[in-house]
């Protein structure tokens, strides 16, 4: 579980990042979920864009992704979802007060 300070830090980091995934009409296929899971392992922080042709509820999709990838929803803003999952072996994101 991340704290509010950590969440704030992650939101600032995500501002400069581009969305690396787009979810469209086909919503969450197993392949998309697996690709997001792999990206979380490599990057820890992932931004996902939901296209306008996707009829699914944004919060529902974020919840399902979080559950399936064992990650945390950092923020839902506009049509974007930001997910975070700590990589304990090769962590790239270091929070204030943590050892690298």
Task: Show the beta-strand stretches assigned E in 1-100.
Answer: 21-23, 45-50, 72-77, 80-84
Q: Is residue 11 part of a domain?
A: yes
Looking at the predicted structure, is the pLDDT value of residue 20 above 90? yes
The mean pLDDT of 25-36, rounded to a whole number, is 90
Q: Is residue 92 part of a domain?
A: no
pLDDT the model gives residue 94: 81
Q: Give me the phi and psi of 59, to 5 degrees please.
A: -65, -35
Q: Is residue 57 part of a domain?
A: yes
CATH number at residue 28: 3.30.110.60
- In the chain, how many H helices and how many E strands? 3, 4
Structure tokens at 49: 């864009």
Q: Is residue 12 part of a domain?
A: yes
Q: Is residue 95 part of a domain?
A: no
Q: Is residue 94 part of a domain?
A: no
Q: Is residue 17 part of a domain?
A: yes
Q: Is residue 49 part of a domain?
A: yes
Contact 27, 61 (CB under 8 A): yes
Helix (H) or strand (E) segment spanning residue 13: helix 4-15
What is the pTM for the complete model shown? Answer: 0.90
Count how many Cα atoms sit within 13 Å of the Cα of residue 77 in the half-sphere of its side chain.
10
pLDDT the model gives residue 90: 81
How many structural domains compose the chain?
Answer: 1
Contact 82, 14 (CB under 8 A): yes
pLDDT the model gives residue 98: 67
How do residues 60-91 score in pLDDT, each as one tens digit? 999 999 999 999 999 999 999 999 999 888 87
Range of the domain at 46: 4-84
């Amino acid at each position: 579980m991340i704290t509010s300070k950590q969440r704030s830090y992650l939101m600032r980091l995500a501002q400069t990042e581009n969305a690396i995934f787009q979810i469209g009409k086909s919503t969450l296929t197993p392949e998309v979920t697996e690709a997001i899971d792999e990206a979380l392992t490599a990057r820890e922080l992932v931004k996902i864009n939901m296209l306008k042709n996707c009829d699914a509820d944004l919060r529902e999709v974020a919840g399902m992704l979080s559950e399936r990838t064992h990650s945390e929803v950092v923020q839902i803003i506009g049509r974007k979802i930001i997910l975070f999952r700590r990589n304990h072996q090769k962590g790239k994101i270091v929070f204030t007060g943590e050892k690298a």
